[in-house]
Amino acid sequence: MIQRLWFLLLILCAACTSMPQKATTSDWVLTWEDDFTTDGTPDPAKWSFSGRRSPDWACYCADNPATTFVKDGQLYLRGIRNEDPADTAKYQTACIQTKDKFAFKYGKVEVRAKLSKGKGSWPAIWLMPQEAKYGGWPNSGEIDIMEHLNYDSIVYQTLHSHYIDNLQQKANPVNFATAPFKEGEFNTYVLEWYPDRLDFFINGQKTFSYPKIENADSSQWPFDEEFYIILDQALGGSWVGSIKDEDLPVQMVVDWVRVYQTNDQKQAKL
């Protein structure tokens, strides 16, 4: 009887050690950060203007110190009425990224940010692939750590891929969640990215997890390549709706951005 009990215990221990383990606080090593300590334009060694393009979030992007600046240890990203006569767009918005400057695969991203509200306001904290090796959007994936709309008291956390957007597999597994946040205050938005899942948090509380399904290929799990960070304060578009000029300017204020990895995750890049 005793021998059988010992045998069962050994099997259980082996099963536990073979399961994917969540990294503990002591496992995370700071890999990259920006505390926005220097007033003026964001550090050009870390950030660049993401460019004005046709997608709704990018259609008013402007490389303009009126929309994007660092002051007193914080980054300001604004959506404003355009006052530049050389620019025909009605609005200008902040859009910066770490593409070609910093990208990573697996780890933890933390962004401490405060949001304002307004009709047409659409701030976001998100990740896109450095090299779209599985093809154009959405095939190579998109990870939305935080998006906020209008006057909402919730934020969205969402994944995009070929499996989700083209094959319409949005329930197996569920690809997004909404969660409350502290309105008018700084909140910490977090993604923990592992080879088998993506875990989302707000202020230390887990809000959502998206798993890699069994026998998944790149259509469901394109999240095995390096991604870069985007911060933007967009205005308008088909999802958020019309813009109310009286609510402008709107802004997202970012206190800091930090990326951590475990030693094993750092090795995964090699």
Pick from 76, 85, 250, 217: nearest CA to 151: 250
Catalytic pick from 110, 131, 142, 192?
142
194 and 220 in contact (C-beta within 8 Å)?
no
Active site residue 147: yes
Burial 171-190 (b: 16+ CB within 10 A, else e): eebebbbebebeeeebbbbb
Active site residue 214: no
Catalytic pick from 33, 147, 183, 214?
147
State the Cα–Cα distance between residues 98 and 227, nearest whole angstrom. Answer: 9
115 and 252 in contact (C-beta within 8 Å)?
yes
| Cα Rg of the chain (Å, integer) | 20
State the Cα–Cα distance between residues 153 and 138, nearest whole angstrom. Answer: 28
Length of the chain: 270
109: alpha, beta or left? (left if phi > 0; alpha if psi -120 to 50): beta
160 and 270 in contact (C-beta within 8 Å)?
no
DSSP state of 104: B
Task: Report the catalytic residues.
Answer: 142, 147
